[in-house]
Amino acid sequence: MGSQKRIAKELSELVESPPDGITVELADEANLYKWKVFMEGPEGSPYQDGKFLVNLTLPTEYPFKPPTVSFGTKIYHPNVTNDDKGSMCLGMLRADEWKPSSKIAAVLQFARQLLLEPMPDDAIEGRIAEQYKNDRKRYDEIAREWTRKWAVSE
């Protein structure tokens, strides 16, 4: 029960004063534990102009257990799995790294920062990480193309 209060509090804070390029809503009004987050690709990154759907799932033990973040929109990124799950690996979200004092706003801002600066050393998709490190131009190109293909709504 304690978790619900804190989640409701954080949600209202995020809805009232959303961080840059991030809008938050509940996937289902009756369920506080599943959030739909729309993240705009940060300027200066190949994801610019794209609008990415991020699914945020909170455990019932929140804030003692970390939330999970996955991309609902396909994205070409070294830290996001290139499958239909689109799970994202954030350092701070690992069970042993997670601190109850971290807020969801911080998690989302961290995720957005990751779009601007991928972490190839902590990558899930090794191939993309390799490309990011060695052939940055090509990576930018593909990422921009994927963004145009999946993340830009006409």
Partner 1 sequence: MDIQDFLAMEANSDRDDLVDLRALDFVSSYDSHLMCPICHCPFVQPVRLQCDHVFCQKCLGSAITTFRSADSDEFPCPSCRTPTTRISTRVPRLLVNMCDEIQVRCPLVGEGCNEIVPRGHVQSHVEKYCGYRLLPCPDESYCRCERCNEDVMEQDFAEHDKELCPSLEATCDDCGSIVPRRSLKKHVETCPDVVSACAASQYGCSVKVRRADIAAHEQQCPLVSIGPYLEAQNTRLNSLELTMRHLQQRNEIFEDGMANIRSTLLESARVSDADRNGGRSAPNGDRDGQALIDAEDPADPANSFSSHTTQYLLSLHESLREEVSQMSHALTDLDARASMTIMNECLRIKEDMAHTNAALNSVRMQVQWLMNPRLHNGTRANGMRTNSASNESTRTQLTSTSAPGPSSGTGVSLGPLRPRRPSDSGREGTKL
Q: Interaction with partner 1 in 85-144: which residues (CB under 8 A)?
A: 99-101, 103
CA dihedral 91, 20, 65, 59 (to 10 degrees): -130
Closest separation in Å from C-beta 65 to partner 1: 7
Catalytic residue among 22, 26, 27, 89: 89
Q: Looking at 21-29, 33-41, 60-68, 73-81, which segment touches partner 1 (CB under 8 A)?
A: 60-68
Rounded-to-integer distance, Cα 124 and Cα 99, Å: 22
- List 9, 127, 138, 149, residue binding partner 1 (CB under 8 A): 9
CA-closest candidate to residue 147, choices 70, 26, 39, 55 = 39
Q: Looking at 1-9, 18-26, 106-114, 124-132, which segment touches partner 1 (CB under 8 A)?
A: 1-9
Residue 5 touches partner 1, criterion: CB under 8 A: yes
Instruction: Give every CB contact of residue 146 below 8 A, 6+ residues apart in sequence.
Output: 74, 75, 76
SS3 146: helix
Nearer to partner 1, 106 or 152 (CB): 106
Is there a contact between 26 and 55 (Cβ–Cβ < 8 Å)? no
Q: Is residue 117 annotated as part of the catalytic site, yes or no?
A: no
Residues forming contacts to partner 1 in the complex (CB under 8 A) are 2, 5-6, 9-10, 61, 63-65, 99-101, 103
